[in-house]
Amino acid sequence: MVRLGVLLLLLCVFSHAERVNYSGYQVWHVKAQDDVRLDDVFESLQVCIKGGRDYVDVWRRPLPTSPVYHVMIPGRLIEHVTQLLRHMNVTYDVWIDDVQRLISDDTMKGRLRHRRNPRVFRFNEYHKYDEILGWMEKFARVNSDLVSLFQVGSTYEGRRIMAMKIGVPGGNKQVIWQDSLIHAREWISGATLLWLSHKLVRNYRQHEADVTSLLRRFDWIVLPVWNVDGYIYSWTKDRLWRKSRTNVGPFGCKGVDLNRNFYTPNRGAGISSDYTCSGVYQGNSPFSEPESSSVSRYLSTLNLAAFISIHSYAQYWLYPYGYKSTSSEDNEDLKRVALEAVAAIKRTHGKEYKQGRVIDLAYEVAGGSVDWAHQSLCVKYSYGVELRDRGKHGFILPRRYIVPTAEEYFEAVKVVARHIARNET
């Protein structure tokens, strides 16, 4: 196996006053090679500059069925990376030729529409956090017989983490938990849960039998924005910010990957890092971050029927484990329901989602919330869902896809809830 020592350049003046501009950045699909450690190459190619940090950002890693990296290349490194890959005989294709143009074309047009009528909350738009929180407050107030808004945790910067409970009041009901935006740049995940929340209540008001039954049987707890600090930062400074905003160490680096910060055995395995500047930095210890520790304490008080954490992108329906190759004793049931869920997705708009264990379909990884919920909280139906798309737009999914993505996810999550209602006590 070829081992490459790539110079780590640290020329840093950490001033984050300006919004990060991705003009000239490109997203490449790079074909993996068995004899080249491309993970090491991409991790090492980092150049710190005024206003932030230029680096080769791995958006998606290769799979057995698709041995391709999706990587974002800064404009100033394109020539260097091109020469490096050619030297290694590694092939690639350019999929997004200017990341900033994609960001600006879609997000800015949506903001113009919002400014023309700011009182209307559109579910086919992406929204800033204050708009989301304002809508949640109004939604809970107007639908107080079904919806309550409450705090489930707090952030490093002192903000409240707010969730909604949706359901017909009564007894000690089981909970269908759904969360999103633990990774700040995955905007489609939060937009999907906002649409779903509205849809549940609207269908109940319209006496739709399926939803009415599910709201009587379960409480649906929806956490649309888990990583509040990071999400706000993704709007104000850096659209592609992933982590929390914790001060973590030298070089001015910030943030922990909150989905590496839960307790699982085999800490540090697979796609996680002890390097504080890494996009997958796991933190000093499990639950070292207020976002993961506070919400996990709340989760531990619930009677959970299902735990579903929503991400983007890839079009996957995932289940434990990620930290080990051994299957869960519930693997067959998890797989059976996942197959039904992806079939429901396909029936909605024809999109193909793959299902499987995290370690098989995505990658080996420790510290994830889905494994933690399944193993530590004994939640049988614990899933991670990677929404659209498969790489054409990546994390910058245009707003025209919000509603179709939400619609197909809604059909899938109802499959999970119906299965539990029929088969689990």
Catalytic residues: 386
User: Beta strands of 181-259 (E only): which ranges?
Assistant: 218-223
User: What is the Cα–Cα distance from 306 to 55, expressed in whole angstroms?
Assistant: 37
User: What is the Cα–Cα distance from 399 to 22, expressed in whole angstroms?
Assistant: 19
**Complete edge-to-edge strand list for the sheet that includes strand 147-154:** 147-154, 160-166, 218-223, 174-180, 304-312, 381-387, 316-319, 354-357
CB within 8 A of 6, min separation 6: which ones?
40, 41, 44, 45, 84
Question: Would you give the DSSP letter of residue 106?
Answer: I
Helices assigned H by DSSP within 218-262 = 228-236
Cα distances (Å, whole numbers) of residue 16 to 54, 235, 277, 403: 13, 14, 15, 34
Burial class (CB in 10 A: 0-12, 13-18, 19+), 303: exposed
User: What is the Cα–Cα distance from 277 to 272, expressed in whole angstroms?
Assistant: 12
* Pairing status of strand 218-223 against strand 26-31: unpaired
Conformation bin of residue 283: beta by default, left when phi > 0, alpha when psi is -120 to 50: left
Nearest CA to 125 among 201, 24, 116?
A: 116
CB within 8 A of 2, min separation 6: which ones?
35, 36, 37, 88
Q: Which helix (H) or strand (E) holds 90?
A: none
Q: Which amino acid is at 25?
A: Y
